[in-house]
């Protein structure tokens, strides 16, 4: 009798742990739904695209509103997605037709799903329109897939490959400044790629790519970060990279860690 009770108790604990694990995994990865308090930045619709996003008015802007990123049929699942293949960015002219959220953010949790349609496809997700998390098929360097660009490479094995949906789940803490505007703490982020933690509480050193890349890119060669919030930006580089299910949850991270 005693052994039976112990067995039941043991099995109950196992079930509970599996349920907790299932809840945790359901909050990250492809198909993760926005939690309470989050905002759906893109849900696959034209209304969502034009309501929440605009062209980034950087020095190389060549596109004219309204946004020319096409709403297309999801090639894998039901529904629709948006393609980053804006004609103004043909030839890899980044900054010519990038789109950025109308709303700006400091600390946040972000979920982005993307699909690279063809080998070598290239785009990028910019945190605060400053710090690029690279999307680049075929490259596993610190300039390649899921890298905090030019600073921290990511394990390429986490990538699902061409023609399949992938997901970035990120927690980001903005840079901190003192009352005089001097930088006291660098921006930091933790990132999961398809449910695998690839960057744990990494500091980000600067904006890369110059003034055509993002906010502060032309300020002291990208090292002159300023105390301004920024939007979430998606890069157009003349490639057919699709996006869907993008949501953000504004946070106020009092402690220095971004781990989650």
pLDDT of residue 26: 53
Burial of 102 per CB tally in 10 Å (0-12, 13-18, 19+)? exposed
What is the average pLDDT value for the chain, to the nearest integer? 92
- Euclidean distance between CA atoms 140 and 173, whole angstroms: 25
pLDDT of residue 6: 52
* pLDDT level of residue 4 (50, 70, 90 thresholds): low
Backbone angles phi, psi at 23, to 5 degrees: -65, -45
pLDDT of residue 32: 97
Q: What is the pLDDT of residues 94-133, one digit of tens each?
A: 999 999 999 999 999 999 999 999 999 999 999 999 999 9
Higher pLDDT, 67 or 10: 67
* pLDDT level of residue 5 (50, 70, 90 thresholds): low
Predicted confidence (pLDDT) at residue 8 exceeds the cutoff of 70: no
Mean predicted confidence (pLDDT) in 40-61: 98
Predicted confidence (pLDDT) at residue 231 exceeds the cutoff of 90: yes
pLDDT of residue 21: 38
* pLDDT level of residue 57 (50, 70, 90 thresholds): very high
Q: What is the pLDDT of residues 175-227, one digit of tens each?
A: 999 999 999 999 999 999 999 999 999 999 999 999 999 999 999 999 999 99
Predicted confidence (pLDDT) at residue 11 exceeds the cutoff of 60: no
Q: Is the bond leading into 66 cis (omega within 30 degrees of zero)?
A: yes
- Euclidean distance between CA atoms 167 and 171, whole angstroms: 13
40: Cβ contacts below 8 Å, ≥ 6 apart: 34, 48, 246, 247
Mean predicted confidence (pLDDT) in 232-239: 98
Q: What is the pLDDT of residues 149-186, one digit of tens each?
A: 999 999 999 999 999 999 999 999 999 999 999 999 99
């Amino acid at each position: 009798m005693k052994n039976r009770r112990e067995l039941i108790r043991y099995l109950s604990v196992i079930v509970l742990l599996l349920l907790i694990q299932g809840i945790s995994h359901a909050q990250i990865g492809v198909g993760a739904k926005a939690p309470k308090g989050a905002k759906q930045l893109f849900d696959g619709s034209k209304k969502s695209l034009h309501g929440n996003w605009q062209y980034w008015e950087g020095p190389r802007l060549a596109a004219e509103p309204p946004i020319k990123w096409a709403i297309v049929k999801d090639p894998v699942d039901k529904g629709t997605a948006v393609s980053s293949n804006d004609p103004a960015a043909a030839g890899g002219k980044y900054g010519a037709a990038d789109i950025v959220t109308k709303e700006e953010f400091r600390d946040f949790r972000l979920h982005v799903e993307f699909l690279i349609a063809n080998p070598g496809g290239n785009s990028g997700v910019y945190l605060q329109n400053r710090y690029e998390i690279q999307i680049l098929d075929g490259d596993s360097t610190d300039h390649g897939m899921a890298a905090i660009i030019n600073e921290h490479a990511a394990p390429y094995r986490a990538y699902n490959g061409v023609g399949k949906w992938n997901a970035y789940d990120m927690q980001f803490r903005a840079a901190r400044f003192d009352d005089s505007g001097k930088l006291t703490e660098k921006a930091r982020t933790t990132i999961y790629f398809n449910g695998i933690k690839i960057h744990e509480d990494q500091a980000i050193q600067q904006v890369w790519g110059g003034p055509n890349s993002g906010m502060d890119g032309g300020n002291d060669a990208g090292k002159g970060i300023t105390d301004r919030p920024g939007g979430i930006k998606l890069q157009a580089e003349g490639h057919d990279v699709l996006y869907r299910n993008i949501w953000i949850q504004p946070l106020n991270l009092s402690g220095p860690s971004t781990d989650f």
